[in-house]
């Protein structure tokens, strides 16, 4: 964020992706929720209630991750979310832990599935995962088994080390 010629707050170009989802544009306060940019995409605090999962969570992984997060006192990396559909691409377990802890927002890197820089394949040799399959699972609620999809970006997901105490 910078200050413009007339004293107004000017946000980086990456913030345009925050407003590709009508659901998100009405609840994001840029001054409060914008954290940083990763390449051309924003990292912002996003309401958990708006996010759509596409995979199940593993209860045993949930317990161990909760211990890790509580022990660290912060969330190291943002979850990965498709900016138009608000489907969680990576981070289902982190979102579930934060929900269990009573948090209402999560740091999220909002990316576009239209970008060839965002790709998906499977952790499982017996599955073929496509972007269409992920979107269908997110909208229908017929979730894929945990650790089915593997999303990759052509850039690094930034560390945010966002303190739990600052998550509302």
- Domain extents in the chain: 2-112
Domain 2-112, CATH 3.90.1530.10 — does that match? yes
User: How sure is the predictor about 57, in pLDDT bands with cuts at 50, 70 and 90?
Assistant: very high
The mean pLDDT value of the chain amounts to 92
In this structure, of 3-12, 59-68, 149-158, the range with the lowest mean pLDDT score is: 3-12
Angle 92-100/59-72 helices, nearest 10 degrees? 70
Q: Give the predicted TM-score (pTM) of the model.
A: 0.92
**Cβ partners under 8 Å of residue 11, min gap 6:** 1, 30, 34
Convert the pLDDT of each residue in 81-138 to its tens digit: 999 999 999 999 999 999 999 999 999 999 999 999 999 999 999 999 999 999 999 9
Q: Is the pLDDT of residue 40 over 60?
A: yes
């Amino acid at each position: 964020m910078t200050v413009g010629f007339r004293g107004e707050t000017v946000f980086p170009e990456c913030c345009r992706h925050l407003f590709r989802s009508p659901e998100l544009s009405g609840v994001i306060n840029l001054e409060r929720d914008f954290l940083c940019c990763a390449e051309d995409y924003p990292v912002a605090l996003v309401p958990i209630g708006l996010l759509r999962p596409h995979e199940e969570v593993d209860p045993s992984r949930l317990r161990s991750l909760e211990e890790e997060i509580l022990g660290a006192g912060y969330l190291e990396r943002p979850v990965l979310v498709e900016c138009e559909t608000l489907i969680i691409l990576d981070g289902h377990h982190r979102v579930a832990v934060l929900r269990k802890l009573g948090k209402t927002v999560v740091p999220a890197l909002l990316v576009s599935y239209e970008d060839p820089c965002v790709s998906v394949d499977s952790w499982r040799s017996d599955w073929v995962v496509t972007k269409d399959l992920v979107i269908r699972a997110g909208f229908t609620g017929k979730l894929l088994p945990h650790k089915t999809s593997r999303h990759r970006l052509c850039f690094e997901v930034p560390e945010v080390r966002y303190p739990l105490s600052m998550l509302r």
